[in-house]
Structure 1
Amino acid sequence: MNEQELRKRLASLRSEHRDLDVAIAALADAGAQSGFVDQLQMARLKKRKLALKDRIAAIEDVLLPDIIA
């Protein structure tokens, strides 16, 4: 992948990560109102969010490598 494709992919992953934040908050809020939180669904969303975070970090490392001065 070239730099432009990586930046597009990074933007897409960040957007999906934010969407998962919203989904997790909505699920927690709905659970607080109903008294029942779907723990399995919550765990799946959090696991997906963590995987996205790892992929985002990997792409950022490629785009912005550490420079030891």
Structure 2
Amino acid sequence: MQNAHYAALEAKHAVLEEKISDESHRPVPDTAMLAELKKQKLRLKEEMQIL
């Protein structure tokens, strides 16, 4: 069960990484959106470390 949960977290982490990359490469990145995406990514990373 934990392996499935960890895999799901990794998948979400990868999606957030892609969104951050896409937003960063826009001509005028939305800094508020970037900050929120990075917070979400950090929360996922912290949860993954706990497992």
Identity of paired residues, percent?
27
Query: Using CA pairs below 8 Å that are at least 6 residues apart, which structure has the higher relative contact order?
Result: 2
TM-score (norm 1): 0.71
Aligned alpha-carbon RMSD (Å) = 0.7
What CA distance in whole angstroms lies between the structure 2 residues aligned with 1:8 and 1:52? 14
What CA distance in whole angstroms lies between the structure 2 residues aligned with 1:21 and 1:43? 12
Question: Residue 17 of structure 1 corresponds to which residue in structure 2?
Answer: 13
TM-score (norm 2): 0.94
Which consecutive residues of structure 1, in runs of 5 or more, have no partner in the other structure?
60-69
Which consecutive residues of structure 2, in runs of 5 or more, have no partner in the other structure?
none
The count of corresponding residues between Structure 1 and Structure 2 is 51
